[in-house]
Amino acid sequence: MPILTHSLLYGLLLSLGISVLVIGALRYNPELMLRSYPPDIKEKYGPARPETLRQRKFIALPLLALMIAVPGAAVAQLQPLTFLNAFLCAFMVMMTFNLFDLVILDWLLFGLWLPRWAILPGTEGMAGYKDYSFAFKGFLKGCVLSLVLGLSVASIAVGLASIF
Condensed to tens digits (0 to 9), the pLDDT of residues 113-145 reads: 999 999 999 999 999 999 999 999 999 999 999
Task: Look at residue 25 and tell me whether its pLDDT is greater than 80.
Answer: yes
What is each CA distance from 109 to 10, 23, 69, 112, in whole angstroms?
A: 22, 10, 26, 6
What's residue 3's pLDDT?
Answer: 96
What's residue 31's pLDDT?
Answer: 97
Mean pLDDT, all residues of the chain: 97
Q: What is the mean pLDDT of residues 146-164?
A: 96
The Cα–Cα gap between 11 and 9 comes to: 5
Task: Look at residue 55 and tell me whether its pLDDT is greater than 80.
Answer: yes
| Prediction pTM value | 0.95
Report the share of the chain in percent with pLDDT over 90: 99
| pLDDT band (50, 70, 90) for residue 10 | very high
| pLDDT band (50, 70, 90) for residue 164 | confident
The Cα–Cα gap between 36 and 114 comes to: 14
| pLDDT band (50, 70, 90) for residue 1 | confident
